[in-house]
Amino acid sequence: MTNDDVKTWMDEVRERTDHALRTYLDEKLLEARQISPSSLELVEGIRSLTLRGGKRLRPIVLQAAMRAVGPERDLGDATAVSASLEVLQSYLLIHDDWMDQDDERRGGPAVHAMYRNDHGEHEANALAILAGDLASAYALELILRTPWGEGQNEALGLFIRIQKEVFYGQHLDLTQDPDVARMHDLKTGSYTVRGPLLLGALLGGATEAQTEALLAYGNPLGEAFQLADDLIGTFGDSGHTGKPGDDLTHRKRNGLVAMAEARLEGKAREELSTLMNGRGHADEALVARVASAMVDHGIRSEVEARITELLASSEKALDDSGFDPQGVEILRFVARKLALRTV
């Protein structure tokens, strides 16, 4: 398959997923009107965020795994679980934006910010929590609409495990735990790469050896994806990502900050400590100096080199995987898409 063929395949996954999401969420609007018309705003908040954008990377990862291990399987069987992963992400983003006090997401208002149009701040925040909780129920409902056959209990167990790992990872993030690598693996690697791969493997009828090969492919890719996200969070802009590069402004202890804490010395180290231990609005000039120090001391370039190394490890796992050849080409392209994100 050429790169253009893979891009076309990915566009088809996105189109199927978007259609399923729109159909399902329209159904939920009708359901809310019957059960509690006043609660429509909860569904509307979920719907707005979910349909606003997103690259549909998790459905692509899931269906790439399914295609690689079961090329004869009908990818239409993966539509509901693909939509489930997107609604799960909406659930996590709604809560994450509220916890991080981010008012912008995907080029528009975060859900808690949307609710401020009609409610006070505390009530808007509480409604966002409810909307996230409702989205979690929707994600589970969509999982149950997937034709798992005898693998349904295994799929449910995996889906629950993904969520537990994300919650643990979010705890490590919020408490600024020093084990940043573990936080990344749990918070992002689990539901962005490893979980979708395993769900796709299950739906595609993977053998044990194929599942192990997918994990060997996915584990380094999860770390690479998060490091790329950290680069965007530190140096990116809303034109590329739908949100500003504001990790330093919000004092998020991402991978670059952890490396800077171990590497910087003298005035640069003092300024990093002042920024990360401060309260209230972060001084923009201080943020800019810390970001510049990360570049000047080679931290940014080292993270970029690590991403390249992880990508190579991920692609090497495909060499003797025994996957369908066209599936391998899709997985290679997906790996580059996840790891080499635009900054």
Q: What is the pLDDT along the chain (343 residues), one digit of tens a residue?
A: 788 999 999 999 999 999 999 999 999 999 999 999 999 999 999 999 999 977 899 999 999 999 999 999 999 999 999 999 999 999 999 998 898 888 888 889 999 999 999 999 999 999 999 999 999 999 999 999 999 999 999 999 999 999 999 999 989 888 888 888 888 888 888 889 999 999 999 999 999 999 999 999 999 998 898 888 888 888 875 444 444 457 888 788 788 888 898 889 999 999 989 888 887 777 888 888 999 999 999 999 999 999 999 999 999 999 988 899 999 999 999 999 889 875 3
Query: What's the rounded Cα separation, in Å, for the pair 293 and 278?
Result: 18
Provide the domain limits for residue 323. Answer: 3-339
pLDDT of residue 181: 82
Q: What pLDDT is stored for residue 280 in this prediction? A: 72
H helices then E strands: how many in the chain? 16, 2
User: Would you call 76 helix, strand, or coil by DSSP?
Assistant: helix
Backbone angles phi, psi at 282, to 5 degrees: -75, 140
Q: Contact, 106 vs 53, CB < 8 A?
A: yes
pTM summary value: 0.88
User: How far, rounded to the nearest angstrom, does the alpha carbon of residue 147 sit from its chain's CA centroid?
Assistant: 24
Domain count, the chain: 1
pLDDT at residue number 215: 94
CATH number of domain containing 324? 1.10.600.10
Contact criterion met (CB below 8 Å) for 143 and 81: yes
pLDDT number for residue 238 = 43
For residue 67, what are its two tokens? 């295609």
- Rounded to whole angstroms, how far apart are CA atoms 217 and 162? 18
C-alpha distances in angstroms, 153 versus 81, 126, 148, 161, 262?
14, 33, 9, 12, 44
- What pLDDT score does 237 carry? 56
Tokens 């998020």, located at residue: 252
Spatial separation of the C-alpha atoms in residues 300 and 316, rounded to whole Å: 25
Contacts for 25-32: CB closer than 8 Å, 24+ residues apart? 25/50, 25/51, 28/138
Sign (positive or negative) of CA dihedral 322, 328, 334, 340: positive
Query: Could you tell me whether strands 104-105 and 108-109 are parallel, antiparallel, or unpaired per DSSP bridges?
Result: antiparallel
Summarize the chain as % helix, strand, coil (round to 5). Answer: 80, 0, 20
Q: What is the pLDDT of residue 245?
A: 57
What are the Cα distances from residue 36, in Å, to 30, 41, 44, 45, 286? 10, 10, 13, 15, 49
